[in-house]
A and B are shown apart, each in its own frame.
Chain A
Amino acid sequence: MNDQRDPIPSTLSRRGFLGGALALGLGAGALSACSTPVGAGLAGSTLDPGTVQYWNLFGGGDGVRMQAMEAGFEKSHPKIGLSSVTLAWGNPYYTKLSLATLGAKPPDVAVSHLTRMKTLQAADLLAELHPADLARHGMTADKFNQKAWKTALVNGKIFAIPLDTHPFVCFYNTEVCKKAGLLDSSGKLKPLTGEQAFMDALTKAKRVTGQYGATIAVINETATPWRIFQSLYSQLGGTPVLSDKGTRITIDDAKALKVLTFFAKLNSSNLMPGSLDYQGAIATFAAGRAGFYFEGEWEITTFQTAKTPFSMTKFPNVYGGPNGYAVQADSHTLVLPKRSGRSKEELDNSLTFIRSLLDQSATWAAGGHVPAWLPYRNSKAYAKLTPQSNYASAADAAVYDPNAWYSGSGSDFEIIVGGTIGAVMSGISSPQAGLNQIKQKLTVLAKTQPPT
């Protein structure tokens, strides 16, 4: 008769077998730990030490161009691996970048708007870039657009490498404007100075199209109303809306009111109505039913694809006068998130990647951005690139968003102020009520203890 308690005639019990398997599994796991993401996370080691981890927020046309530039880098530097991640634009991107850096697992290189980079630096999330390291890769201060470069400095220290400046510009339908008599002999738009000239041009364009003089994104859109307001307000010489890192509101009431009243007039006279959302404004201009479209230059690819007969120029100098031209802009910069234990080799790989992107500024500029890399910006090739090079000087007149922890591209500041300006532009709010609401809502933020 068999022993019913121990039918397996071996010394290995079930518990022994399980224990052995567990030990084997853990051992195998430990051996291969460093090469898997989970293992690397647990062991605290870097994943793929020879690779540059790169995060950006470029979707759509910009995304396609950035991917082409990444491919260019991989071709020219086959020994350095590249791992690129694209995240949604705006708050989601910066939240993820901040949390990744706080969790000590940031990318090696990341894109950041210049205005948001200030907040990241104030939060101590960026690594300082030393001129000696940059010079090793040929990136010296004189090779960059001075406006962007100087604005990016924090107490004279370098934390970001500007890639471009993307200003607010004027798109105009060449056929409509020609019929309206708004073009000069060389086919370029005649300068529009003063409110009256601006309105006259829109009136003439509206007569030709029979529908819109100018279109602009207002409904469900907060960034565009802020951009056009900031441009006109700065042309008037208005003081920055926020001062002292956002703790004081220093908006010039009279000048702000003047701009808002102008918007209300443009809406009520139906020359530039505030009734279209972002896609609607694009579609209307692309279909030739408007003479003008005001937005950042990045929409150039959209209209080229739609085969609209258009050109671009600097946003009109309505109020600026000869020395007062100003236009809202922001810049894309490349930053190195702070990480302890960054080796010299990793730093050099990251800087090599950044230099490679700058060298491919031609690809990037084709998407409408004004390159910050002067060797390309001042070249003949760029001058021939029209209509992109038409507004290149706007980068030198760029007015960036005021520096505050709640400000920057896609920030709460833009959402609050832009939303209220949009309400004025669509006639929902009166100019005075809009101004009061801006000040009231910003006061709440200004009084809040800054977290950085």
Chain B
Amino acid sequence: MTATTYVPRPAEAASADLSRTGRRGRRDDTRPGLAFLAPFLILYVLFVIGPALYGLVMSFFDTSLVKSGLGTFAGFSNYAEAFKSSDFWSSMWHTVWFTILTTPPLVILSFIFAVLAERATHGKWFFRLAFFAPYILPSATMALIWIWLYTPGLGLASAVVQKLGITSPQWLGDPNWAMWSIAAATVWWTLGFNFVLYLAGLQEIPRELYESSSLDGATPWQQMRSITIPLLSRTTTLVIVLQVIALLKVFDQMYIMTSGGPNFSTRPALEYIYDIGFTDYRVGYGAAASTVYFVLLLIVSAIWFIQTRRAERST
């Protein structure tokens, strides 16, 4: 019997080690690491960083979508127009209002459902599936489902309301109701993600805490208040941050369900930028508006970042 084993030839091994040994004498994985990152980095620079910088340059010109080149120099006039434009500010307000409407339900309801789903003894998989399934739908599918539900007269929403004896409002056609309707649809749609985050957080809470507290005579409500919610504070913070940032970027639901209507009453900031930049061909001004929007989002994120850092340092 012959046993052949692979033994790296000493010279080979030594040279291999030498070529990858940095000054500190440890294996330096920087170059292979960069090589692995290269495909992503190249695409990222080409399709994200590059256009963002081009957009920044474009915002100082009256660039038109249908004319080649940057167009006439406009200085800060695009930014001045954005700041003076009531349409721009109302679209910003619509985005903020939408975020205010949807964040509390998305945080609180997902927490409640996660707690309930965690307690289910039979068919846990079914409840997890039921709450998470809407999240995997593409936005167009979700919008179509809810357009059907909100159809005046024929839709399920109107039918249910009418059975209760109230005249059904025009869910998507009434400026007073449109944003609420879209918010309800969005809560149904994106609740699943927070639900999963809370499930994971709940499972990390040690059982012994509940057992020992019930031995000490704590009621379920006291357990919830003193054990569950405080121990989920990190998850809650994560959920809120992710939610707010995602909601501030809303576009799909409004574009598909109401086209920003009725009378632009649901048009979010991103759709205003789309209407100006693509429909009206004014990409220069659209770039300026989107830069202003970006800076505002950056400020919100920065404030949040500082807050959480401060909170973490104090705990």
Partner of B263, one of A4, A125, A220: A220
A436 is an interface residue with CB less than 8 A from chain B: no
Q: In the complex, which residues of chain A have a beta carbon less than 8 angstroms from the beta carbon of B170?
A: 277
Contact between A123 and B66, CB atoms less than 8 A apart: yes
List 5 A-B pairs, Cβ < 8 Å: A94-B279, A95-B279, A220-B175, A412-B280, A448-B282
Q: Which residues of A contact B280 (CB under 8 A)?
A: 405-406, 412, 451
A5 at the interface (CB under 8 A from B): yes
Interface string of B1-34 (1 = CB under 8 A from A): 1111110000000000000000000000000000
Q: How far, in whole Å, are A207 and B263 apart by their CA atoms in the complex?
A: 34
Contacting residues, chain B, for A237 (C-beta < 8 A) = none
Which of B2, B261, B279 counts the most chain A CB atoms within 10 A?
Answer: B279
A106 in the interface, Cβ–Cβ < 8 Å?
A: no
> Bound state CA distance, A95 and B278, in angstroms?
6
With A220-B262, A220-B263, A277-B173 known to touch, is A452 a contact of B281 (CB < 8 Å)?
A: yes
* A449 and B62 form a contact (CB under 8 A): yes
Per-position binary interface string of chain A over residues 99-131, scored 1 when its CB falls under 8 Å from any chain B CB and 0 otherwise: 100100000000000000000000111000000
B259 lies within 8 A of chain A by Cβ: yes
Q: A142 at the A/B interface (Cβ < 8 Å)?
A: no
Min CB gap A405→B, angstroms = 8
Task: Determine if A124 and B6 form an interchain contact, defined as CB atoms under 8 angstroms apart.
Answer: no
Q: Find out whether the CB atom of B1 lies under 8 angstroms from the CB atom of A1.
A: yes
User: Could you tell me if B281 and A220 are in contact, using CB atoms closer than 8 angstroms?
Assistant: no
Asked whether B173 lies within 8 Å of A102 as measured between CB atoms, the reply is no
A279 interface contact, C-beta 8 A:
yes
Q: Cβ of B65 < 8 Å from any Cβ of A?
A: yes
Interchain CA distance A277-B282 in the complex, whole Å: 32
* A3 contacts chain B at the CB level, 8 A cutoff: yes
Choose among A94, A98, A279 the residue that contacts B65 (Cβ–Cβ < 8 A). A98
| A102 close to B66 (CB less than 8 A) | yes
- Asked whether B64 is an interface residue with its Cβ less than 8 Å from the other chain, the reply is yes
Known: A94-B279, A222-B263, A452-B64. 15 other contacts (CB 8 A): A5-B6, A92-B259, A125-B66, A220-B175, A220-B262, A279-B152, A405-B280, A406-B280, A412-B280, A419-B263, A448-B81, A449-B72, A451-B62, A451-B65, A452-B281
Cα A254 to Cα B135 in complex, Å, equals 57
* B118 interface residue per 8 A CB criterion: no
In the bound complex, residues from chain A placing their C-beta under 8 Å from that of B64 are 451-452
**Residues of A with C-beta under 8 A to B6:** 3, 5
Q: A91 interface residue, CB < 8 Å from B?
A: yes
CB distance from B123 to the nearest CB of A (A): 42
Contact string, B107-151, partner A, CB cutoff 8 A, digits 1/0?
000000000000000000000000000000000000000000000
Closest Cβ of chain A to B176, distance in Å, is: 12
Contact between B261 and A451 (Cβ–Cβ < 8 Å)?
A: no
Do A1 and B2 form a contact, CB below 8 Å, given A98-B66, A102-B65, A220-B263? yes
Q: Are B72 and A220 in contact (CB under 8 A)?
A: no
Check if B282 sits within 8 Å of A91, measured CB to CB. no
Known: A98-B65, A125-B66, A449-B72. A220 touches B261 (CB 8 A): yes
B275 at the interface (CB under 8 A from A): yes
Judging by beta carbons under 8 Å apart, are A123 and B3 in contact? Answer: no
For the complex formed, measure the closest distance between the CB of B150 and the CB atoms of chain A, giving whole angstroms: 14
Q: How far is the CA of A340 from the CA of B275 in the complex (A)?
A: 27
Specify which chain A residues have a CB less than 8 angstroms from the CB of B3 in the assembled complex: 1
Contact with B along A391-435 (1 / 0, CB 8 A): 000000000000001100000100000010000000000000000
Known: A277-B173, A451-B64, A451-B65. A99 touches B278 (CB 8 A): yes
Chain A residues within an 8 Å CB radius of B173: 220, 277
A99 to B280 CA separation, bound complex (whole angstroms): 11
Which of A279, A419, A451 counts the most B-chain CB atoms under 10 A from its CB? Answer: A451
Minimum CB–CB distance from A366 to chain B (whole Å) comes to 28
Q: Which 3 A-B pairs have the closest CB atoms?
A: A451-B64, A123-B66, A451-B281
Q: A95, A99, A124 — which one has the most chain B CB atoms within 10 A of its CB?
A: A95
Say whether A452 contacts B263, CB under 8 Å.
no
Closest to B87 in A: A444
Name the one of A4, A277, A452 contacting B66, with C-beta atoms under 8 angstroms: A452
Provide the bound-state CA to CA distance between A406 and B282, in Å: 11
Q: How far is the CB of B72 from chain A (nearest CB, A)?
A: 7
- In the bound complex, residues from chain B placing their C-beta under 8 Å from that of A123 are 66, 281
Chain A nearest Cβ from B48, distance in angstroms: 19
- Which residues on A sit within 8 Å (CB–CB) of B2? 1
Considering the chains assembled together, what is the distance between the CA atoms of A123 and B275 in angstroms? 17
Instruction: Give the distance to chain A from B71, nearest Cβ to Cβ, in Å.
Output: 8
Complex interface: chain B residues within 8 A of A449 (CB): 62, 72, 74
Q: Which residue of B lies closest to A220 (CB)?
A: B262
Contact A91 B279 (CB under 8 A): yes
Q: Which of A243-296 contact B (CB under 8 A)?
A: 277, 279
The chain A residue with its CB closest to the CB of B72 is A449
Q: How far is the CB of A274 from chain B (nearest CB, A)?
A: 14
Residue-wise, chain B 51-76 has the 8 Å CB interface mask toward A (1 for contact) of 00000000000101111000010100
Across-interface contacts of B62 in A (CB, < 8 A): 449, 451
Give chain B nearest CB distance to A22 CB in angstroms: 14
The distance in angstroms between the C-alpha atoms of A452 and B283, with both chains bound, is 12
**B67 contacts across to A, CB distance below 8 A:** 451-452
Q: How far is the CB of B147 from chain A (nearest CB, A)?
A: 12
- Are A3 and B4 in contact, with the CB atoms below 8 A? yes
**Min CB–CB distance A122 → chain B (angstroms):** 8
Closest to A123 in B: B66
Beta-carbon nearest neighbor of B64 in chain A: A451
* A5 neighbours in B (Cβ, 8 Å): 5-6
Q: Which of B4, B74, B280 has the most CB of A within 10 A?
A: B280
Interface residues of A in 194-223 (CB under 8 A from B): 220, 222
Chain B, Cβ-Cβ closest to A450: B64
Q: Which residues of A contact B263 (CB under 8 A)?
A: 220, 222, 419
Q: In the assembled complex, which residues on chain B have CB atoms less than 8 Å from the CB atom of A4?
A: 5
- Mark contacts of B249-263 with chain A using CB atoms, 8 A cut-off: 1 yes-contact digit, 0 otherwise: 000000000010111
